[in-house]
Structure 1
Amino acid sequence: MEYKERVKAARAHAKLTQAQLAKAVGIDQASISDLERGRSQRSSYNASIAKACGVSAIWLESESGPMVAAAQAEPSNVRDTVQPNMAYRYPVISWVSAGSWEEAVQPYPDGFSDRYEMSDYDAKGAAFWLEVKGDSMTAPAGVSVPEGMMILIDTEADVKPGKLVIAKLPASNEATFKKLVDDGGTRYLKPLNPDYKMVECGPDCRIIGVAVRMSGVL
């Protein structure tokens, strides 16, 4: 079993989400996500991760011995004290930063942002908040996302037509916020404001993530 698989198995044993484990260890959720995807191996946290998950640190490090030692057979204290309603902390970043988002060992290291906001949403991957600019997503009726509203973006949420997404067009140096639609097999980025035109989301259009919360809703 690879190291990344042992981290997943340890977290599953403890019945913890990535965010809950990250909080228990004292690192951010992105670091746990990176470990589970094999993007990084930060062995300095092994002992803390093992303790939080109630597994053997030696097993987590090298797969030596049993996953759970006899003395650890009882549920860990961390798992017992996890509350059902959790709050998760995500950084607020700029639209330029969102537009330049790329796969990295650690998408946003500690100190990446000087502003963080909370949400009840447990992200599937690295996530961040953006403050909406302009009125292209202000609709005359129905769902509307006016300027100044905060949106939470999950970079690994399911992307499909009908979703509100953050995308990067090749002609721009920053991200754009639109509704993803499909018309005859061609994808477009559609503003909610009818005064703005749709833009084709071709092969060079990169979907960065999906809006999963708007100022605490969605």
Structure 2
Amino acid sequence: MRFVIDMIIRYRIIAGNTLRPPLIRRVEAMTIALRLRAKMNEKDLSENELGRRSGVPQPTIHRILNGDSSTPRKATVEKLARALGVTPEWLLFGGTQGNVLPASPPHKEAKKYPVISWVAAGAWSQSADVSQLDSGSEMLASDVYVGENGYWLEVQGDSMTPAQGNGFTPGMRVLVQPEGFDLVSGKYYIALLGSTGETTLKQYVRDSGIGYLKPLNPDFKMIVIDGDVQIIGRVVDVKFPNSFL
């Protein structure tokens, strides 16, 4: 009997030393994951949308939510907390305090992005370098963060001007997020047409499993998205020209 008891004790010690640290790390990671998931659900945010707002890559967010990242970097936690309106300490450790940040001033710090040409837009997401811009390049501010490679385009032509209702009229400026965006039917995107080299603004629609670039002006034809079409950015903000006022 004594032998059996000794074996049980020895097994528990060995098992505890072997399994406990990874299990503890897993529980800690899942605790962070549960708090992160709860706030995302509360604010109705997808992984991609949280990534867009926080600047944290979607795969990193996915690993945290799955409990695979037990020790996310301090900068990552701070970005996620800021986007969710909580403190980094609450996101990491929980508790009753810090799950809601104190009310912040109504003004949101804006970031300036360059206004570039439609020709330049085709390659901007791959080789954006603000330092190479001409000193006279126009910079416009927005409180919508679109990453370091974001840019503005000036709307040209009337393909996005509908017969009735709101649209994109010539002279309007659109802010483009060139990285980390979702394809959502009904939203507006910048596309590069490989057959002509043209860069264009269109509405993305999906029907019966096929994607289309849709002009708002019925006088223009829809474009089927095939191997020659590359979606290079999503429109997330607009500015009207001064002449509109």
Q: Mark yes or no: TM-score above 0.5.
A: yes
Query: Gaps (5+ residues) in structure 2?
Result: 1-56, 61-70, 84-103, 241-245
Q: Determine whether 1:109 maps to 2:133.
A: no
Contact 1:98 1:174 in 2 (8 A): no
Q: Determine whether 1:213 maps to 2:237.
A: yes
- Please provide the CA RMSD for this pair: 3.0
Aligned to 1:27: none
Alignment CA distance shift 1:15-1:91 (3 Å)? same
Alignment CA distance shift 1:101-1:134 (3 Å)? same
- Select which of 80, 85, 106 maps to 2:108: 85
Structure richer in helix, relative to its length: 2
Q: Which has the higher contact order (CA 8 A, sep 6+)?
A: 1
Shift of residue 9, structure 1, vs aligned partner = 2.9
Aligned to 2:158: 135
Aligned to 2:186: 162
Contact 1:100 1:173 in 2 (8 A): no
Larger radius of gyration: 2
TM-score in terms of structure 2 length: 0.53
- Select which of 99, 102, 116 maps to 2:122: 99
Shift of residue 202, structure 1, vs aligned partner = 0.8
**Cα deviation per residue 1:66-102 (whole Å; 9 max; x = unaligned)?**
xxxxxxxxxxxxxxx9985111100111000112335
**Cα deviation per residue 1:29-60 (whole Å; 9 max; x = unaligned)?**
xxxxxxxxxxxxxxxxxxxxxxxxxxxxxxxx
**Cα deviation per residue 1:12-31 (whole Å; 9 max; x = unaligned)?**
4488979xxxxxxxxxxxxx
**Cα deviation per residue 1:94-131 (whole Å; 9 max; x = unaligned)?**
00011233534xx2232425211111111246210000
Contact 1:152 1:213 in 2 (8 A): yes
Q: Look up the SS of the partner of 2:121 in the other structure.
A: helix
Q: Determine whether 1:199 maps to 2:220.
A: no
Q: Look up the SS of the partner of 1:211 in the other structure.
A: strand
Q: Look up the SS of the partner of 1:90 in the other structure.
A: strand
Q: How many residues get paired?
A: 149
TM-score in terms of structure 1 length: 0.59
